[in-house]
Amino acid sequence: MKKGQSMMRITSLLAALSLLTSAATAHAQSAWVLWAHSYEVWVDSNKENHRRDGYWKKVTATAAKSDCDERTVREARAEYYTLTGKGVRATLVGSKVGFDQSNTRYKRGYHSFECWPDTVDPRGAKGK
């Protein structure tokens, strides 16, 4: 391989590496959104689960995913303590709170706290 070709190859590799580094940095620096997701579950006589989605609600935005992940647990814990403080039977697993409901066939409700990149809307496409 000639010296000129070798230099061109090194330059090309450095340019590619620079682009990859920039893309990784941009992804790491992108904002994250903490969402609260509500849904209900009903179990029929055949022990089949039936799920009904409730809402997705933006809670907050964070600069780092690690901050958002920490916030999911804090929000779930706060929700759990609020429900149990009102006498509602509830469970807490990570960032998901399950609770008993009455006056509906969906006897179990859930609030799940989830982090999504700010470029993603977990509610799906508009008009659904």
Q: What is the pLDDT of residues 14-30, one digit of tens each?
A: 444 444 443 344 444 57
Rounded Cα–Cα distance for residues 33 and 116 (Å) = 5
Residue 83, pLDDT > 90, answer yes
Query: Can you give the pLDDT at residue 51?
Result: 87
Rounded Cα–Cα distance for residues 52 and 38 (Å) = 9
Q: What percent of the chain has pLDDT over 70?
A: 74
Q: What is the mean predicted confidence (pLDDT) over 105-119?
A: 91
Query: Can you give the pLDDT at residue 107?
Result: 83
Residue 12, pLDDT > 60, answer no
Residue 97, pLDDT > 60, answer yes
pLDDT band at 77 (very low <50, low <70, confident <90, very high): very high
**Rounded alpha-carbon distances, angstroms, from residue 41 to 46, 57, 84, 95, 123:** 14, 19, 19, 17, 19
